[in-house]
Structure 1
């Protein structure tokens, strides 16, 4: 409690029950949200450590996962409710305030903020972006109102902010209808002007981070974006990827309320004994222990990654040692393309082995087919394809397009487009087709074998 007996935002967060369940999450949504929460956790950690990388014994910064909102950042008496909303590229930016209230979760954020007596601040973290017009106007109004609140100015809604406040108030009533506070419904409800003033106060507590990294790019971007600043600050030689995976794993666990609890799964026995009093703030926070990530937790994760970075590094795929695979890898074809090419090459060999077992025309047909494939390769290796650097993946895609366009009558009986690609892979294996500029393939294979032997 504060000196005047009023609970703080941090105390309310852990003592006030959730007014409603936030609903089911898909695995992809959990993963992205866990990553965004981990990024904020690392940011809090960076603020918490001193110049020597040490945490104070009474450091209390922490993140509570999947409670009230997607997560809540807590420090001292303060709390920030965070709603994390991934928005796929094909959906595009938020174009209306209604979309922000509904799909962006602002209506839900308002309801949780109201239930917590308007004490926390609020943040929307999203990939969506804000289009010109009403969404950007809302963000600008929130900044203006926030500056006036921080300056302790008399709170008022200026003429400039009226359209945004009116629109957001209407959207909250629409998309939060089933859980609207009592003050907004019934005969004794606040007047519309009073509700709009409350909406403006919510805006003054709101910030929007609308340019976060997309889910598809997160595995590659996150280590350098979020973990490297911590690695650099601590002067660690640990790869940022290892630190990121260690901390992300911590948040993945807490997001599912699967973290450690001092009492494990033991049931509570004397929870309703008369005279014991209501649970304290400490009791309430203890009950949420398996959802909470502290700075000490993050510190331990970083130390663990530093001691054993290999445990958090992604497992390297097996190195293909065929000439075709090494040449495609040099052209930066994807692992999937290389695996497919290798399989199709085996199928191609099987086809000709079966033909030659009893067909006297097979040798002539195979030579004719080889010339066809070389012509296809020559046609596909255009200056446009080679303009990209590296150009192996572009050539592989172009070869597939050219092959798909070959008339059926030009393809030997029993072959199909996939086996033609197998033939391309076979010609690459004998160095008649390249996916990059020429290099010493055998020397590269020897180098890869030596590296694999050293790693073993």
Structure 2
């Protein structure tokens, strides 16, 4: 009998059955995961366009949704399985490797990687940050081991990253329960030495990419058009609202992610399916079965063309004008509607954070006052005469503050805070008239004027 050819990573992903389906997901979880999968798809689409600004007929990049993990990025024979974990502002950043293995899903991701014969690369995509210490040491180990693998060197257990390997190995054993690989089961027929288990973990870290501190659910709808769509629209030279293109592409991914679940073919016994002399299904056959979960680059291309041809059909309906003091001041400073909406949402998250902290935490009040002083210092440094020389300096000021907040180490801010929540604090200070986006004006008079204007429009 001739030896069967070794399967590629992409073939393994589509032919190896997943031990469990994604199960029930909340609407919010789908919304954020579909947004992040769409961001991946848009980047893959931009890469596929190349300098010619068009897809080739044989372009085969595609995204497989809700299979094995939250999605799989496929490119020819290559595959990357992605686990997407959203953490709310009230939840702290990852403090330990155990949290990354359990809440961050690294244990589950490792098990899937092993089940897929160690073929695909892996990625954890999460809104949570990594605190200094063990979590950041683990991230450093992934980068060092990846560099060794890409340079063609053997992945070894060197002293620099051995502690991280040992910690993750222990965490995987703790959080995998009965799903441990057969060769990890103590006393089993095929148990391998602990050192070889460490080597497996090291190989896993060499193909792992941890993307952390990403845009949260409350913010993604406002940030996505500029962040993910604008590079594509600019590259293609289209004069179309980015929001329309985003809504079209996001809707495509949302639909395909919801397509995960029982299929009618699943009711047919595989024994009966092959009893008439037909060959077992190939990887191409299995991928066709999964077509309802797959987004191709040509699918994205059609969605973009539809949005360009009829942008009004994909525009979000206008929401009522924000009339908070912060929103009115940002509008007076020529900030965009997206920035205003983002500031309003983050201010709510910021209030929710302190409401939770101030309940039963005697240190919270002092921490809040210390943070207020830090945020005022950041805004003061961002407010320069050169910036104000432009009459419409509000957007520049808003972006400068964000850049400054992104550079503040997590250790210098209250536990569970990130750059988004800090920006919510800036919005809160603006609402208290301690930060401005334009020259001073009578805010209450402006609110009354806008309210009267809205009433007149409604009449």
Does the pair score TM above 0.5?
yes
| Per-residue deviation, 1:92 | 1.7
1:308 alignment counterpart: 310
Alignment deviations for residues 385-408 of structure 1 (CA, whole Å, 9 cap, x no partner): 4444479xxxxxxxxxxxxxxxxx
**Aligned counterparts of 2:454 and 2:126: Cα–Cα separation in 1:** 47
1:7 alignment counterpart: 7
2:21 is the alignment partner of 1:21? yes
**Contact 1:327 / 1:441 at 8 angstroms: preserved in 2?**
no
Alignment deviations for residues 373-392 of structure 1 (CA, whole Å, 9 cap, x no partner): xxxxxxxxxx994444479x
Q: Which runs of 5+ in 2 are unaligned?
A: 332-339, 342-429
**Aligned counterparts of 2:155 and 2:299: Cα–Cα separation in 1:** 40
Alignment deviations for residues 224-274 of structure 1 (CA, whole Å, 9 cap, x no partner): 011111111111111110111110000100111169xxx999987972333
Specify whether residues 330 and 164 from structure 1 end up closer, same or farther in structure 2 by C-alpha distance, changes over 3 A only.
closer
Specify whether residues 307 and 267 from structure 1 end up closer, same or farther in structure 2 by C-alpha distance, changes over 3 A only.
farther
2:168 alignment counterpart: 168
Specify whether residues 17 and 170 from structure 1 end up closer, same or farther in structure 2 by C-alpha distance, changes over 3 A only.
same
2:290 is the alignment partner of 1:288? yes
**Aligned counterparts of 2:154 and 2:320: Cα–Cα separation in 1:** 66
1:245-260 pair list within 5 angstroms: 245-257=247-259
Secondary structure of 1:176's counterpart equals helix
1:205 alignment counterpart: 207
Q: Which entry has the higher C-alpha Rg, 1 or 2?
A: 1
Secondary structure of 1:81's counterpart equals strand
Specify whether residues 77 and 445 from structure 1 end up closer, same or farther in structure 2 by C-alpha distance, changes over 3 A only.
same
2:59 alignment counterpart: 59
**Aligned counterparts of 2:96 and 2:454: Cα–Cα separation in 1:** 59
Alignment deviations for residues 134-164 of structure 1 (CA, whole Å, 9 cap, x no partner): 0000000111111111111122110111111
2:149 alignment counterpart: 149
What is the count of residue pairs matched by the alignment? 354
| Per-residue deviation, 1:23 | 3.3
**Aligned counterparts of 2:324 and 2:100: Cα–Cα separation in 1:** 49
**Contact 2:274 / 2:280 at 8 angstroms: preserved in 1?**
no
**Contact 2:64 / 2:295 at 8 angstroms: preserved in 1?**
yes
Q: Which runs of 5+ in 1 are unaligned?
A: 336-382, 392-433
1:42-191 pair list within 5 angstroms: 42-185=42-185, 186-191=188-193
Quick one: higher RCO (CA 8 Å, sep 6+), 1 or 2? 2
**Aligned counterparts of 1:21 and 1:57: Cα–Cα separation in 2:** 33
1:243 alignment counterpart: 245
| Per-residue deviation, 1:76 | 1.1
| Per-residue deviation, 1:311 | 1.2
**Aligned counterparts of 2:199 and 2:266: Cα–Cα separation in 1:** 47
2:217 alignment counterpart: 215
**Aligned counterparts of 2:40 and 2:176: Cα–Cα separation in 1:** 27
**Contact 1:86 / 1:128 at 8 angstroms: preserved in 2?**
yes
**Contact 2:66 / 2:260 at 8 angstroms: preserved in 1?**
no
Secondary structure of 1:246's counterpart equals helix
Specify whether residues 73 and 319 from structure 1 end up closer, same or farther in structure 2 by C-alpha distance, changes over 3 A only.
closer
Specify whether residues 93 and 75 from structure 1 end up closer, same or farther in structure 2 by C-alpha distance, changes over 3 A only.
same
| Per-residue deviation, 1:22 | 3.5
**Aligned counterparts of 1:227 and 1:164: Cα–Cα separation in 2:** 37
| Per-residue deviation, 1:438 | 5.4
**Aligned counterparts of 1:250 and 1:111: Cα–Cα separation in 2:** 29
2:271 is the alignment partner of 1:272? no
